[in-house]
């Protein structure tokens, strides 16, 4: 039997999730964030499916190239901006928008050769302290940019949240996000131009932050970063199923130990399944024994450590399982957020980590 480890991408779910986001933010335009190869779902596949998005957000000029090669003409924003003046010609040729977060970029624009003006998104550091101009420097940066021939009219004012997954009604009360909203309002008061703040969690939990453009990534793929509340809790549908097959089912005696490190002991005579999937496919090695999987659509759990090509399963609840039976590692019915939490990470990481030997199919 050929290795059947497969990532199935649910195109309908992508379209559905874009619709859910539009319902949440009806007055905003939607930038579909497709960085990291469409969060591991395949950039071309996602961009083609979401061709109705008002814009795309990416992390690299090569991603803009790939989107333009599909014939898509809406704005594409380089979320980290450009970092070398050589990039400006390519940026113009591809009609890419650029985030401006640092004075060096303004200098490069000031010295740019004449050519088509570039749409700029001026980034304000409202408290995340990753990228952006300090609030006190925003007015001067805006004024300088506005006067440059290389800069298109209508500079967008933007920021990014550090903790928008804590909602205002949550335990932590969303103080960080409220503070960031206040800082943004003060730093940009009186400046003209569209506003953009909200990532997925901002779309789902912070209506005050929607502004003119929302920038969801994870939510498009059906993934939530809100603790204890997977995407389905917001009406989102998972856009990826990771599946494999059982290639063995063995009866192992009570007291025997399973897998590397002999870390898991059979509490009784029991069937142990072996699924043809491991960390070499992108299934996280960090998941502990007992992490849920679906075998024939029914719940089972991992037993022992995940290895590179194989994962062992406790099949006590499924005495009839046979080699060839399907195993779902995540997908509809088993949120990737649950698996990610077991691995000590967020749902974004496993979907971005699928390796090249996994077969991608669309449905
Ligand atoms: C990645 C990114 C987003 C999307 O974040 P999600 O949490 O996936 O919705 C939005 N804005 C910027 C600047 C980003 O880098």
- What is the per-residue pLDDT across 231-290, written as a single tens digit (0 to 9) for each? 999 999 999 999 999 999 999 999 999 999 999 999 999 999 999 999 999 999 999 999
Give 175-228 pLDDT, tens digit per residue. 999 999 999 999 999 999 999 999 999 999 999 999 999 999 999 999 999 999
Give 80-97 pLDDT, tens digit per residue. 999 999 999 999 999 999
User: What distance in angstroms lies between residue 217's CA and the mean position of ligand 1's atoms?
Assistant: 6
Distance separating alpha carbons of residues 161 and 183, to the nearest angstrom = 12
User: What distance in angstroms lies between residue 189's CA and the mean position of ligand 1's atoms?
Assistant: 24
Atom 14 (ligand 1) nearest CA: 79
User: What distance in angstroms lies between residue 223's CA and the mean position of ligand 1's atoms?
Assistant: 13
Q: For ligand 1, what atom is nearest to the CA of residue 223?
A: 8
132 lines ligand 1 (CB under 6 A): no
Q: Which residue intervals of the chain are DSSP H helices?
A: 11-24, 35-39, 43-49, 61-69, 87-93, 103-110, 138-146, 175-188, 200-205, 336-342, 348-352
The DSSP letter of residue 133 is B
DSSP per-residue string spanning 321-332: --TT-EEEEEBT
Distance separating alpha carbons of residues 355 and 342, to the nearest angstrom = 20
164 lines ligand 1 (CB under 6 A): no
Whole-angstrom CA distances from 89 to 27, 84, 85, 95, 117 are 34, 11, 8, 10, 11
Whole-angstrom CA distances from 91 to 64, 108, 118 are 9, 13, 8
Give the bridge partners for 58, in sequence order. Answer: 78
Report yes or no: 7 and 362 within 8 Å, Cβ to Cβ: no
Longest pairwise C-alpha distance within the chain: 77
**Residues labelled as active-site residues:** 35, 260
Could you tell me which residues come within 8 angstroms of residue 171 by beta carbon, excluding any fewer than 6 positions away?
Answer: none
The DSSP letter of residue 288 is P
pLDDT cut 70: percent of the chain above it: 99
CA-based end-to-end distance of the chain: 22
Q: Which of 142, 143, 149 is nearest to 124 (CA)?
A: 142
Question: What tokens were used for 292?
Answer: 């849920």
Give the bridge partners for 100, in sequence order. Answer: 122
Task: Give mean pLDDT, residues 30-45.
Answer: 98
Q: For ligand 1, what atom is nearest to the CA of residue 99?
A: 13
User: 102-113: string of b/e by CB count within 10 Å (b at 16+)?
Assistant: beebbebbeebe
Task: Give mean pLDDT, residues 336-356.
Answer: 98
Give 146-163 pLDDT, tens digit per residue. 999 999 999 999 999 999
Residue 42 pLDDT exceeds 60: yes
Question: What is the model's pLDDT at position 357?
Answer: 96
Question: What is the model's pLDDT at position 2?
Answer: 67
Question: What is the model's pLDDT at position 172?
Answer: 58
Mean pLDDT of the chain: 97
Give 299-322 pLDDT, tens digit per residue. 999 999 999 999 999 999 999 999
Distance separating alpha carbons of residues 274 and 247, to the nearest angstrom = 6
241 lines ligand 1 (CB under 6 A): no
Distance separating alpha carbons of residues 358 and 278, to the nearest angstrom = 11
The full length of the chain comes to: 363
Report yes or no: 100 and 81 within 8 Å, Cβ to Cβ: yes
215 lines ligand 1 (CB under 6 A): yes
User: What distance in angstroms lies between residue 297's CA and the mean position of ligand 1's atoms?
Assistant: 33
Could you tell me which residues come within 8 angstroms of residue 317 by beta carbon, excluding any fewer than 6 positions away?
Answer: 298, 299, 300
- pTM of this structure: 0.97
243 lines ligand 1 (CB under 6 A): no
Q: Which residue intervals of 257-347 are DSSP H helices?
A: 336-342
Residue 1 pLDDT exceeds 60: no
- Long-range contacts of residues 303-306, Cβ cutoff 8 Å, at least 24 apart: 303/258, 303/259, 303/264, 303/266, 303/272, 304/257, 304/258, 304/259, 304/260, 304/261, 304/263, 304/264, 305/259, 305/260, 305/261, 305/263, 305/264, 306/278, 306/279
Residue 324 pLDDT exceeds 80: yes
């Amino acid at each position: 039997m050929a290795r059947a480890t497969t990532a199935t991408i649910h195109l309908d779910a992508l379209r559905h999730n874009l619709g859910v986001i539009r319902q949440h933010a009806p007055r905003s335009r939607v930038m579909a964030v497709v960085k990291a190869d469409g969060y591991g779902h395949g950039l071309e596949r996602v961009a083609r499916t979401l061709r109705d998005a008002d814009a795309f957000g990416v992390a690299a000029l090569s991603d803009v190239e790939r989107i333009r090669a599909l014939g898509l003409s809406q704005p594409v924003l380089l979320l980290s901006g450009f970092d070398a003046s050589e990039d400006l010609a390519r940026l113009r040729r591809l009609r890419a928008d650029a985030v401006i977060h640092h004075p060096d970029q303004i200098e490069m624009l000031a010295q740019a050769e004449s050519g088509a003006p570039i749409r700029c998104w001026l980034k304000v550091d409202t408290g995340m302290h990753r990228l952006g101009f300090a609030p006190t420097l925003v007015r001067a940066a805006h004024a300088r940019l506005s006067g440059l021939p290389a800069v298109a009219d209508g500079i967008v004012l933007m920021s990014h949240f550090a903790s928008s997954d804590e909602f205002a009604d949550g335990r932590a009360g969303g103080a960080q996000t409220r503070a960031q909203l206040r800082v943004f309002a003060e730093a940009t008061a009186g400046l003209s131009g569209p506003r953009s703040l909200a990532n997925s969690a901002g779309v789902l939990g912070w209506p005050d932050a929607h502004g003119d453009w929302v920038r969801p990534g994870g939510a498009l793929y059906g993934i939530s970063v809100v603790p204890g509340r997977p995407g389905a809790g917001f009406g989102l549908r998972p856009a990826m199923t990771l599946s494999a097959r059982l290639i063995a089912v063995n009866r192992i005696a009570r007291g025997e130990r399973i897998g590397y490190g002999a870390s898991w002991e059979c509490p009784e005579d029991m069937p142990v399944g072996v699924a043809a999937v491991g960390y070499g496919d992108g299934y996280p090695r960090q998941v502990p024994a007992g992490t849920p999987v679906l075998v024939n659509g029914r719940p089972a759990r991992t037993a022992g450590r995940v290895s590179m090509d194989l994962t062992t399963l406790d099949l006590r609840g499924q005495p009839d399982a046979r080699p060839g039976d399907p195993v779902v590692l995540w997908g509809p019915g088993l949120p990737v957020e649950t698996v990610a939490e077991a691995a000590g990470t967020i749902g974004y990481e496993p979907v971005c980590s699928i390796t090249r030997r996994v077969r991608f199919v669309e449905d």
